[in-house]
Structure 1
Amino acid sequence: MAQVAPTARTGQNFAVADLGLFSELRQFIFETPEVPMKLEGKVFLKQILDLSSAEISFNNLPPKTSVPFYHKHRLNEEIYVFVQGKGEFQVDDCVFPVGEGTIVRVDPEGERCMRNISDTEDLCWIVIQSRVSSYPDHTIQDGFGVQKRVSWVGKQQI
């Protein structure tokens, strides 16, 4: 039975949700009206966390299966971060291995697909999708330290 995506707990400057273990991602079912199919093991975080600058999804592909379609994007590049398993990734006419620790960036125009080549282990990954060329700075240029002593005492638990 499909699991409803979790709701976030929020505060003034944050949102937090718990998806559970990667091995339990198959409880989430993604359906889209554009392509009449159900994808087991996929959950998007934009609405759950009220994201305003990116879409992030957590994904699980069972052993010896393939994503059943190719896709492209109009405006967004995708960054795939593989956290478990072994697979093959295809962009246009190029195929390459992926597994835990592999990170792949695909331009919007790249025709992409992937498959799990393991006999026993799920292939799990995170996708970060954002507008191409929308972030010209480096993280270090945006972040700054706060002159405040770190304390964990007396803080509100949510």
Structure 2
Amino acid sequence: MSHAADFPTQHGAQFSVGHLGPFAELLNYRFSVPALNGREVPGKVFVKDALQLTGVEMSYNCFPPGFSMPFLHAHRDNEEVYLFLSGQGEFMVDGEAFAVSEGSVVRVAPGGSRAYRNAGEAPMYFIVLQVKHGSEPASGIADGVPMGKPEWPIVQPG
């Protein structure tokens, strides 16, 4: 089984790129859960350290059919955004439950007590972004700076 540091990465002066592999292989990654006395669970890989991210924590996740978050949790300072890529599930925040599926986006404030589960018959794939609440000063493309038209070099598949 793999841990977050086990996926190939490449770093340049202004970028990092990682290759986790196909979504179907996410169950090969394991995560040690402190709230479960360090028990390892499959299907979660954090990418912050491997990609040298400085402003966001990010994880790729796969819940097989019937799998659920085994405990409620909240955060002290960070809000989370869940981006559901496929599958069907249920999400609960402060006791209020709602359905999620491909294309659902859920934001949870730091103090919101949350849990989620796969309620479908196929794996549920999703990405979680964790960011310090209130830290984003600009919205949309306000922080963008035009740099000219790109001249594309030949890129080898890989």
TM-score by length of 2: 0.91
* Aligned equivalent of 1:151: 151
Number of the residue aligned with 1:28: 29
Partner of 1:3: 2
Change (3 A) 1:101 1:157: closer
**Over 6 Å off, 4+ runs:** 154-158
More divergent stretch after superposition (26-35 vs 105-114) = 26-35
* Superposed CA offset, 1:68-106 (max 9, x none): 111110100000000010000000110000010000000
By how many angstroms is 1:131 displaced? 0.2
Aligned to 1:95: 97
Q: Could you tell me how far apart the structure 1 residues matched to 2:138 and 2:57 are? A: 19
In the TM superposition, what whole-angstrom CA distance separates every residue of 1:117-143 from its partner, at most 9, and x where no partner exists? 112x00110000000001131132100
In 2, Cα distance between the equivalents of 1:82 and 1:33?
24
Give the count of matched residue pairs.
155
Flag structure 2 segments of 5+ consecutive residues without an equivalent.
none
Give the match's secondary structure for 2:49: helix
Instruction: Kindly state the Cα deviation for residue 157 of structure 1 after the two structures are TM-superposed.
Output: 9.2
RMSD: 1.8
- In the alignment, what sits opposite 2:20? 19
Matches within 5 A, 1:1-158: 2-4=1-3, 5-36=6-37, 37-119=39-121, 121-147=122-148, 149-153=149-153
Q: Give distance in 2, aligned partners of 1:113 and 1:3.
A: 24
- Aligned-partner Cα distance in 2 for 1:132–1:48: 23
The answer as to whether partners of 2:48 and 2:56 remain within 8 angstroms in 1 is yes
The answer to whether the 8 A contact 2:71-2:115 is kept is yes
Gaps of 5+ in 1: none
Per the normalisation by structure 1, the TM-score is 0.91
Residue type at the aligned position of 2:145: F
For residues 75 and 150 of structure 1, the distance between their equivalents in structure 2, rounded to whole angstroms, comes to: 38
Contact 2:8 2:20 in 1 (8 A): no
SS of the residue corresponding to residue 24 of structure 1 reads helix
Matches of 2:73 and 2:102 in 1, distance apart? Answer: 23
Deviation digits for residues 3-48 of structure 1, max 9, x if unmatched? 1431420111000001111111000000034432212100001111
| SS in structure 1 of the partner of residue 75 of structure 2 | coil
Q: Separation in 2 of the partners of 1:40 and 1:126?
A: 15
CA spacing shift, 1:26–1:156, aligned 2, 3 Å:
closer
